[in-house]
Amino acid sequence: MRRTLTVTLIALQLLFFSHLVHSMINLFISRTEMNRTLGLDVQLNYIENGVINLYSVKFPYRINTGISYVQFSWNAKIIDRPMHYTIRVISHANDVIPLLHIPPSGKVPLKTES
């Protein structure tokens, strides 16, 4: 049996004055995490250098019922100032309880964090 984790970044709001020309964010599922959850040896990028990968967000991320979490990684490449974020997670499935292990708002890390 497989569950579906819909990875829709509904309320990921990057709060900064200028456009992404000055700041870039990356949000992805690492190669190690993809291998653990799906058995695939690839990295899945949702946002790469500030650009949303519209292809990857179209598809649900189907995982086996034995998988209890999916770990996302992220970082920012900042030229001139910190990038602030506000985030919340929403589940459209009754059997999936979304948990976020980062503060609901703060600064995007410069080094990759999971």
Query: Whole-model pTM?
Result: 0.74
Among 25, 31, 43, smallest CA distance to 87 is for: 25
Express each pLDDT in 74-109 by its tens digit: 888 876 777 788 877 777 777 777 777 888 888 888
Q: What is the pLDDT of residue 3?
A: 55
Domain residue limits, the chain: 2-107
The two structure tokens encoding residue 56: 């990857």
